[in-house]
Chains A and B, each alone.
Chain A
């Protein structure tokens, strides 16, 4: 057995928190994942309905209403340009969640294809995995910072920048599933029947990767929302004419000691959202991993 670089940090399966207050082995969903699902659905609903719910235009400047405390007109107060904080947070959620979901979809799709190829073709495997090792070695935030600094920040470029650091994990996951699945008799049978290679990859090997990929996608989504916030916070994210939770907080930096709510509210919503996604990811992983069920049950 040889271990290649970086394999030591592959996340070992760990029992998550899904069974919180639920009977071991029962199919009933624990209270915590249920709360997480409700929180996430509520956040999704209010951000999607932002145009209906927001009391003001998130971009409307109002110099006379700078840094106002919460009032009936401005439920969470206003920012340094007199813009309504609540409206900005609602609209900002759309952008942050879109970046989270977009990164998850793009990373999983790209990683799935690369991983299938790496798992099935020995020659490609060696090259692909070395490149993935290299991408793993570069800290995610630094890679995203460098890419966005060079190529400029837009919703699409931020998604692509974060995708680069998320792909290696997907590739490794898909590759390891394919490596064990390709030894199965049904794959041998398909090969001996002369099934075309793309068909074997897609029809026989790909379905094995779906369950772990769903889990991985939730973690990528959570991580992408956080990295977007960090990029914006560092002043490298999307411009404030497109509010995101990250750049609302970045705007609030200067006035933090005067008006902490400019960072607190978007920060709270973002954290609740990421926490819920992580809890749901843990729950899905525990349910899908039979080893976990045995140990826990």
Chain B
């Protein structure tokens, strides 16, 4: 098993290397001169030339890539062209609102989705099952920003219960943080609940078909106990998997939701960078989110081997 753990952990390296290559090529395979694009329309030829020099564009392309990778391996994502500060510092200063809202979303989603999925599996084939399934398909069929604007219209503009936009740090008072974060988190929750409820139902249905469930019933174990202790406990691993991999989806959703609710997180940072053609920041953000996705997957795979005694490599 140790051999598997090592092998699986090392498998992260080629994938991240290829992600880095893709991210590098997205910028370098532009039809025009990246230096001219970055310098802007009003730049003089001299400015473009010095930009080329500063960006290292005069070196052969493989040297540029190796140079950039070397920087990355030292944990340096580069320097923002727009603000001149390091990308690491920019991300570090903007990541907290995003993390807090993502965390709130995951907690709310699991609290809603797992009971929903359990009910659907328990009442399999009946009306309540169908209703849960339709809600969950609808959940990822509506664009997040449409959901966000509907929430703003109802809860902020019409009912005036919550602020329309903005963000307050939890350090300045948890109540105020919640008032600002609840609508963005609810918006992200719609898609996340849909995904998690479907997976809960599917994996619970799988488990409920097992022999030991029939044995439990035959022994006279009560229905809730069969469902929760024998069923849900064994269905937990796939549910955790979808919660984990859904985190990557969340990072995409954050870009949209932070834009709707005007939250100064890394989603807004990305969009601002795209608008300003601040390539190092865009590259850094893609590398960061892909890295999180790859590591979450690694953690899940390792958790499988460590916690499920049936899996042996």
Contacts and interface: CB of A to CB of B under 8 A. Distances in A.
Interface stretch (B39-47, B180-188, B250-258): B250-258
A41 to B, nearest CB: 17
A122 interface: no
Interface in B11-34: 11-12, 14-16, 18-19, 21-23, 26-27, 30-31
Nearest to A228: B143
Interface string A121-157: 0000000001101111111111101110111000000
A134 B4 contact: no
Given A137-B293, A139-B251, A263-B149, A278 B301 contact: no
Contacts of B23: 138, 146
Interface in A57-97: none
Nearest to B4: A2
B56 interface: no
Contacts of B241: 8-9
A267 B153 CA distance: 14
Given A133-B15, A230-B143, A142 B286 contact: yes
User: Which of B4, B15, B249, B294: most chain A CB closer than 10 A?
Assistant: B15
Given A233-B143, A257-B153, A275-B138, A17 B130 contact: yes
A231 B270 CA distance: 13
B248 interface: yes
Nearest to A8: B241
A133 B19 CA distance: 9
A4 interface: yes
B133 A145 contact: no
A8 B240 CA distance: 11
Contact of B245 (A4, A8, A226): A8
Chain A interface size band reads 35 or more
B141 A263 contact: no
B178 interface: no
Contacts of B22: 134-135, 138
Contacts of B294: 5, 137
Contact of A146 (B26, B153, B202, B249): B26
A279 B134 CA distance: 9
| Interface of A, helix, strand, loop or mixed by DSSP | helix
Contacts of B199: 12, 14
Contacts of A3: 301
B15 A130 contact: yes
A15 interface: yes
B201 A14 contact: yes
Interface residues of B, number: 72
B290 A137 contact: yes
Contacts, number: 180
A9 B18 contact: no
A4 B11 contact: yes
B256 A141 contact: yes
Contact of B313 (A2, A14, A20, A21): A2
Given A141-B256, A143-B286, A235 B18 contact: no
A146 B133 contact: no
B271 interface: yes
B52 interface: no
B110 interface: no
A139 B137 contact: no
Contact of A142 (B141, B150, B259, B270): B270
B89 interface: no
A256 B153 contact: yes
Contacts of B4: 2
A260 interface: yes
Given A139-B249, A271-B143, A14 B202 contact: yes
A15 B204 CA distance: 12
Those 8 A-B pairs whose CB atoms lie nearest each other, nearest first: A14-B202, A134-B18, A267-B146, A141-B252, A275-B141, A9-B245, A137-B290, A139-B252
30 contacts: A5-B15, A8-B241, A8-B245, A8-B300, A9-B241, A9-B242, A13-B202, A14-B199, A17-B134, A19-B125, A130-B14, A131-B18, A137-B19, A137-B248, A139-B286, A146-B23, A146-B286, A150-B26, A222-B141, A230-B144, A234-B274, A235-B275, A257-B164, A260-B149, A264-B150, A271-B142, A275-B141, A275-B142, A278-B140, A296-B125
Given A151-B30, A257-B152, 15 more contacts: A5-B15, A9-B241, A13-B202, A134-B16, A137-B293, A138-B19, A138-B286, A138-B289, A138-B290, A139-B251, A142-B252, A145-B271, A149-B277, A264-B150, A267-B143
Interface of B: 4, 7-8, 11-12, 14-16, 18-19, 21-23, 26-27, 30-31, 125, 130, 133-134, 137-138, 140-146, 149-150, 152-153, 157, 164, 198-199, 201-203, 205, 209, 238, 241-242, 245, 248-249, 251-252, 255-256, 259, 270-271, 274-275, 277, 282, 285-286, 289-290, 293-294, 297-298, 300-301, 304, 313
